[in-house]
Structures are given as structure tokens and as C-alpha cells.
A and B are shown apart, each in its own frame.
Chain A
Amino acid sequence: MSHAVHEPPSSFIWKYIFSVDHKVIGIQYLLLALVAVFIGMLLSILIRFNLVWPGTELSILGSLFPVGAPGGVMTAEFYLAMLTMHGTIMVFMVLTTAPQGGFGNYFLPIQIGARDMAFPNLNMLSFWITFLSFVTLISAFFVTGGPPISGWTAYAPLSALGEIAGPGLGLGQDLWILSLALFSVASLLGALNFITTTLDLRAPGMTLMRMPLTVWSWFVTAILGLLAFGVLLAAGVLLLLDRLAGTSFFIPGGLVLNDQLVIDHKGGSPLLWQHLFWFFGHPEVYIAILPGMGVTSQVLSVFSRKPIFGYKAMVYAMFGIGIMGFMVWGHHMFMSGLSPYSAIAFSLLTTAIAVPSAIKTFNWLGTIWGGRVRFDSPMLFAIGFVSLFVSGGLGGLFLNQPATDIFLHDTYFVVAHFHLIMGVAAIFGIFAGTYFWFPKMFGRMMNEGLGKVHFWITFVGVNAIFMPMHFLGMVGNPRRYAELTAYSFLGEVQSLHLFITIAAFITIAAQFIFLANFIHSLFKGKKAAENPWDATTLEWVIPSPPPHDNFGPVDPVVYHGAYEYSVPGEEADFLLQTDKDKETVEH
């Protein structure tokens, strides 16, 4: 018979380092993402700087990177390496860790009334494998040849041929692949933990349809991760074999590089890599955004003092997005030499995903409608999420049509789209979650004034950075160009690039306000009550921060759905899910 509950650990190493407590693990993921995002932002500073002021001597750069930036001048190699690492770090180490591994780990068990994840030891293992993956990735900066230059998408054969195809494509690329393989394993273990916990560990009364939308979002995200990361792992293994074992999964014959015939590979298919990568890659981007949608739903409801508009539709929409997310990968390959018939099929399937996305947007608006809106920082970021999701999502409607994609593919139009959706909306989801849950996690309030300043600069800033990128795309500015000097048509967009770069610098600077607020509040923030936002879900019935076993000696019992705000006939404008004596209309 299993004693599933562990006694609280006492020594530092078991309490904070190798903890099996989901709350500690959640914070570990968040800290990892925090470090990663600042590295990623630093890389984007370098990227934007080089585009506008190429050839500038920066002595710091010269001393840190004597090979990549000799004399302090960024080389094309350096630029492409920074670009590759920026994408990889942001997508994996920030957007796939913080929302799911961070907030999901911390709050999924609590929001369903459990004392921990189904498999606490596995949870710890997942984090430390992720940490190892992160270290492996970063180590690519320090090896001979540096990080790979093949982009976060690592298309073969560029990524498969080794250093002969370019610098960084030797050991750097191997480390990149290894890092993602480790990350895949960690994600698979985490996903199975989330799924099992959600299905089996719900407290009495917590039916599926009483679960908060945050829980649904982590659940659907976990299913996506479970089914997608195996394919990435397979692709990575095959790529590594092509590179190190002389196989030819992705490398065709008859290649000539540097005027030398490549004789030890033949018969492979570069498109096969793309199929495998994007079969994973498309669900991956929904993994990045779904938790943010969950948080946004949550925060909008709390701060409008209103139930979610169309809870069931929201749940179905998340499943719709998730399931269809597996059927559309070909829209990344319209210009790759795919059959034009396949292109039409993928395009029609992709158009379908716009529908549940629209439903969610309508329902967010419906949640605000008729409410009593309070504008605390979490709510500002949730509202920002909705605005940015609209902006970014609509851009997708140009790219999902192969006809319009002919011009826009691999231009900055694509960069605009995915940044608005991932690099901003999803990030706003993380910010909303941070401001919302900080009091619960750390027992202190973040500074509201600083939160507002952070929001304003960031919201205006990200629009200033990424909206203009659509125009760059429409002029035909291709992606991943280390310099913009070779083409006459790029002359007309220099001013746009300057505007974007300056906006980027200001916006990134504002993130330090967030960092300062975060750190300062950890130690000096005003003490937080149990339920500072008057919210209904289970995390708000326990102390801030929660005790080791979350709910103490007895399991909570749930009597209502998660969004009972402004119930008529009630004194308070919210009903805790555990409030026993009230009757509510089940929806």
C-alpha cells in the first residue's frame, strides 16, 4: 500500500534543490525561464543593433567573443548564431517552461485540490533534465565554432552536413540537438504527470466541468506535448545519426560544398526533416499559447467579477485548437516543394483553427461585457493578451493561404506574426500569471505602481516593435539576413528598422523594472492575505504561501464551478469553490 504523501523535507538540499514538492519545482522552472528570457533578450538586442548599425565596433563584444566579433564587430556568423540561439532559447526555455512547467506545476495540483502531482519524484526528474538541457544548449556558446547558424528550425541539409556547410555547425549543432533531445524527454515525463494528475487526483466535487480554465489549458497542453515531443525526439536522433554515423535520412546524394563532392551521403530527403520537425513544431506553438489563454480567461473573470462567458465553449475550443494543431504542419512548407494539392489541403485545415481562436476571443470580450472591471496589473496584461492575440492571430490569415504566402513566406511578415502571438501574447500570459499569483506563491504583493509602468511601456513597446514588421514583409524584406546592405530595395525600410530597434531597446529596458519589482517584492513586498483578489478557485482558500501539503490534514470538497462571481442574492461578489452552503446554477 502506498504512502503517497511525503513528509516535509528539512535539509536545504532536499527542500530547495532536489525537492519533490510541486511548488518548489514550479518556482525552479520559473527561475530557469527568467534566466533564459534575459539571455534571449540580450541576444535580440545584439540582433537589432546589428541590423541598424552593422560594422560598429563594440569593445565588450570583442573581448567576450574574439572569434565571432573580432575587433568588436559582429560577423554574419555571429549574427546567425545569435539568431538561432535566440529562437531556440525563447521557444523552448521560456515559452515551454514558464507557463506549463512553472505555473502549471505550481497551481495545477492546488486548483484541483490535490496535495501534489501524481508522481512527485518524476516531477523533480523532469525539472533537472530540463535544467541539463538548458546547460547543454548554453554550452554551445562556448565550444569551438560556437552555436549553430541554422536557425531554431535547423533545416537539413544545412544542419546535417557539419562544419563544411558553415561555422557552428559542428559541435555547436550536436549540442543543440542533444539539448532538444533531453528537453523532449523531460517534457514527455512532465506531460504524463500533468495528465495523470488532472484525471486522477481531483478532490471530491471537482468534476471536469468545475475545473478552472487554467487547469484545462495545462491539461490540453500536456496532451499536445505528450504526442508531439516524441516526434521531435525521433527527428533529432535521425539528424544526429546523419551527422555522426554516416546515415542519409535527410541528406541527398551529389552535393557539392566548397567545390568538393560529398561522397558519404545519398538518397536522403531534406523535406523529411521539415515534415518531422513541423509535425512537432506546430503543436509546439499551441503548447506555447494555450496556458496563456487559460491564465487570461482566469484573470479576466476575476477582475471583471463575472463568470466566464461560455465556459464549455472555451473548453471545446481549446481541444479544437489542440487537435487541429496536429493537422496543419504543412502550412510551414507551402514554398518548400510540397505538392500544390497538399498545400491547399493544409491551408483549408489551417483556416479551421481560426474558428476556435475566434470563439475564445469573442468569449473573452463576453466575459468583460457587463462586468465591473478593475485594472490591477494582472488584468492589464490579460487585456493586453486579448489585444495582441487579435493582432497576431489575424496575421496568420495571410500566411495560411498559399497564394498570399508566396510573397510573405520567409519575410518579416512571418516574424511579425509569430512574435506577436508567441513573443508577446504568450509572454503577456506569463506576466499576467506572475502578477496574479505572486502573492500566493511568495506571500507578498508586487508593487502595483511599478507593475503599471511595466505594462504601459511594454504594451506600447511591443506594438511599436512588431506591427511595423508586417510592412517590412510587404516590401519583401527576407528573414534571417545578417545585413540589409546588399539589396537596393532594402534601402526604403531602413527607417522602419531604426524605429523597431529603438522601440526594442526601450521595451527591453522596461523589463528590468519588472525584474526589480519581482526581486524587491520577494523580500520587501507588502504581506499578502490569503485571497487578495477575492477570487474563487482553490488556491485562494489556503495560506500565502501555501504549506507543504497545500490543504493540510483534510482534502477540500468542491461545490461549485470556478467562476461564480456576482451571484445574485449573495452578499459577497464571489463564491469560493469550497463554500458549502450556497446553491448555484450549474452550467
Chain B
Amino acid sequence: MILAATIWFITIVTTVVFAGRFWWFPESVSAHGDALDRQFVITLAVTGVIFILAQVALGYLILKYRDRPGAKAQYNHGNNRIEAIWTIATTVLFYIMVLPGQWTWADIHINQQQGNPLVIEVMGQQFVWNIRYPGPDGQFGPTRPELISDSRGNQMGVDFDDPAGRDDLVLPTMAIPVNRPIELRLQSKDVIHSFFVRELRIKLDTVPGLTIPLRFTATKTGSFEIACAELCGLGHHRMRSFIEVLSEQDYQAWLRDMTED
């Protein structure tokens, strides 16, 4: 019947577009990206199979059991054994499916506490990103909200008179070396923003009043867009910046350039 066919048609089209990756994630350039993408594909496979089975079954059932002359419906209140079976099966299946993902998540946010990451501060504001590097002394100078002044070029309120702060670098874009662990310290000046870079598979809110660490390692060079992923006001759609992933050499050269300015 047409309804069954329509349901099946929608199922087929959806499956084809998902499986055919007509629109898909950008290539991952992140160390944890592969594990994340794998988890997505596992979830897609499991939910995809369920999706197809359920929609096909729905179409099949309404087709097979459509009312026809002489047909009789079954007087059946259910089957406790079947209920138990599919309850247990569903539970087991879903939990098995999500467990690897929890591991990946723990890897990214809990376990990656080793090593000596390059620390960079990110402060979101309406409607730009401010990136701070500690400069050649490797130390971040103190900041105070009272010192913040966009008009005087001190977006993050750095005390440039302080010896640690003297060489701090505050920029609207970011550059990092490839294959080195990075730790971003996410902050916000005014409202909640969210730091999102697709290819690096990172996203985390910047919350005023908090400093939230975000660790990752880039595995390929390139230039990637930074987008804001939490509604922050009128300019939410244009809080665009860039993160350049450079070779170690190029990164050092870039740093030197920036410091000399």
C-alpha cells in the first residue's frame, strides 16, 4: 500500500544519503578524532540497522494486516516472554554501543593529564575571540577585569606592566604547532560562548567566571575556522576566527614574528 511504500522510500533515501556520505564531517586532523569518528560510525551502524528494521517492519505490518473482507484480527494481549527478551536485548545492545564512547570521552577529558602541553588562553567576547600566548618567558601575566579596554587594545585586561605580562601576546587568531599537545584555557568576558573547531573535533563552552581546560593534539597542518557554538547575542553567527596548524619550525617563526611586532 502507498503508506508502506512511502515509509520504505523515506527509509531508503535516508539510508543512502547517510551511507553515501553526501554530507559528512570534514576530515579529522586531531589525535582523538579517529576514535570519535569511529564511535559515530558505530552508533550510525547500530541505529541505522534499527531504523531500517523498525521502518520496514512498520510498513510490512500495515501492508500485511490491512483490513480485507473476511480478515479476522487476533485477540492477543501480548507476550511476557517476548517483552522480556526485547527489553533485555535492547538494554544490552544500547549499553554495549555507548561504552566505547565513554572510554574515548574519558581519554579526551580525564586521562590526558600527562605531558607538557603548550598552554594558550582563549577568551571569548561579543563578538570576537581573543587568544593569549605567554610570550618568551613562558609565563602568563596577571589579568584584571578593570584593565580590560578594547579601545585601548587590551582586550583581555593583561597587566602589561607586570614583568610576567610584559611579553604576553594577545591576538584575534591562533597558531599552534602540529603534533604537540595543546591545552586551551577557555574563558569568557561577558556571556557564554563556545569554542568550536570542526576538524580538530573540539567544542567546549567558554563560561564567564570559569576557566575550563581543553586538551587536544593536531595531527596535520592547515588553516581551520573557529566558530562560536553557543548563542551569545547579535553577532553569534559571525564570531569567526582561524587556527593555523603549523610545523614546529613555522610555528617558531610565527611566534618570533608576532613578538617582534
Chain A residues within 8 Å of B, Cβ to Cβ:
76-77, 80, 149-151, 155, 157-158, 161, 165-167, 252-259, 261, 268-271, 304-313, 335-337, 340-341, 343-344, 347-348, 351-352, 354-355, 358-359, 361-363, 365-366, 368-375, 380, 383, 386-387, 390-391, 394-395, 397-398, 400-404, 406-407, 409-411, 456, 459-460, 463, 467-468, 470-472, 474-476, 478-484, 486-489, 492-493, 496, 563, 565-568, 573, 585, 587
Residue B249, interface by CB 8 Å: no
With A372-B72, A401-B43, A482-B237 given, name 9 new contacts (CB 8 A): A149-B233, A155-B192, A166-B234, A351-B98, A383-B58, A394-B50, A397-B43, A472-B23, A487-B227
Identify the closest chain A residue to B157 (Cβ): A256
| Contact residue among B17, B90, B102, B234 (Cβ-Cβ distance under 8 Å from A359) | B90
A80 / chain B contacts, CB cutoff of 8 Å: 231, 233-234, 236
CB of B66 to closest CB in A, whole Å = 5
| Interface check B254, CB cutoff 8 A | no
In the complex, the answer to whether A373 meets B39 with C-beta atoms within 8 Å is: no
Instruction: State whether the Cβ of B101 lies closer than 8 Å to any Cβ in chain A.
Output: yes
Chain A binder among B114-122, B147-155, B160-168: B147-155
Which of B3, B82, B202, B207 has a CB less than 8 Å from the CB of A336? B207
B33 to chain A, nearest CB (A): 9
* Residue interface mask B157-183, A partner, CB < 8 A = 1: 100000000000000000000000000
Interface centre among B73, B82, B106 (most CB of A within 10 A): B73
User: How many B residues face the partner with a CB closer than 8 A?
Assistant: 101
Q: Which interface residue of B51, B97, B151, B230 has the most chain A CB atoms within 10 A?
A: B230
With A253-B209, A270-B209 as known contacts, state yes or no: A403 contacts B39, CB within 8 Å.
yes
B62/A373 in contact, CB under 8 A: yes
Asked whether any CB of chain A lies closer than 8 Å to the CB of B6, the reply is yes
Residues of B within 8 A of A254 (CB): 145, 208-209
Partner of B104, one of A269, A354, A403: A403
Are A370 and B62 in contact (CB-based, < 8 A)? no
Taking CB atoms, residues of chain A closer than 8 Å to B196 are 410, 476, 478
Q: B9 CB to closest chain A CB, in angstroms? A: 9
B198 at interface by CB-CB < 8 Å: yes
Residues of A within 8 A of B102 (CB): 344, 347-348, 401-403
Complexed CA–CA distance, A472 and B23 (Å):
7
Closest 5 CB pairs of A and B: A252-B209, A254-B145, A310-B78, A370-B74, A471-B23
Question: Would you call B229 and A409 a contact (CB within 8 A)?
Answer: yes
Do A476 and B26 contact each other (CB < 8 Å), given the known contacts A150-B231, A347-B102, A403-B39?
yes
Shortest A217–chain B CB gap in Å is 18
Expressed in whole angstroms, the minimum distance between the Cβ of A333 and any Cβ of chain B is 9
Complex Cα gap A305–B68 (Å): 12
B55 at interface, CB cutoff 8 A: yes
Q: How far is the CA of A155 from the CA of B188 in the complex (A)?
A: 14
Residue of A nearest to B156 (CB): A256
Give the CA-CA distance A471 to B20 in the complex, in Å. 11
B232 — which chain A residues lie within 8 A by C-beta?
A: 158
Q: How far is the CA of A150 from the CA of B109 in the complex (A)?
A: 29
CB <8 Å contact, B23 and A380: no
Chain B residue contacts of A484, Cβ below 8 A: 237
CB distance from B247 to the nearest CB of A (A): 23
Q: By the criterion CB–CB under 8 Å, are A409 and B51 in contact?
A: no
- Contact indicator B151/A259 (Cβ below 8 Å): yes
The distance in angstroms between the C-alpha atoms of A269 and B227, with both chains bound, is 24
Tell me the B33-71 residues at the A interface (CB within 8 Å).
Answer: 35-36, 39-40, 43-44, 46-47, 50-51, 54-55, 57-58, 61-62, 65-68, 71
Inter-chain contacts of B82 with A (CB < 8 A): 366
CB <8 Å contact, A380 and B3 = yes
Residues in chain B near residue A257, CB distance under 8 A: 126, 189-190
Residues of B within 8 A of A255 (CB): 145, 189-190, 208
A374 and B67 contacting across the interface, CB-CB below 8 Å: yes
Contact between B207 and A368, CB atoms less than 8 A apart: no
Known contacts A256-B148, A347-B102, A359-B87; A372 and B58 CB within 8 A of each other: no
Return chain B residues, CB-CB under 8 Å to A76. Answer: 234-235, 237
Contact yes or no, B51 A566, CB < 8 A: no
B185 touches A (CB below 8 Å): no
Q: Does B146 contact A (CB under 8 A)?
A: yes
Question: In the complex, are the beta carbons of A478 and B75 less than 8 A apart?
Answer: no
**B258 sits at the interface (CB 8 A):** no
Q: Which residue of B lies closest to A567 (CB)?
A: B75
Nearest neighbor of A352 in chain B, beta-carbon distance: B91
In Å, the complex CA distance between A526 and B94 comes to 49
Q: Do B36 and A403 touch (CB < 8 A)?
A: yes
Question: Across the two chains, which residue of chain A brings its CB closest to B85?
Answer: A362
B204 at the interface (CB under 8 A from A): yes
> Do the beta carbons of A585 and B71 come within 8 Å of each other?
no
In the assembly, what is the distance between CA of A245 and CA of B141, in Å?
Answer: 36
**A409 and B65 form a contact (CB under 8 A):** no
- Residues in B whose Cβ lies below 8 Å from that of A373: 61-62, 65-67
CB distance from B243 to the nearest CB of A (A): 14
Question: Nearest A residue to B23 by beta-carbon distance?
Answer: A471
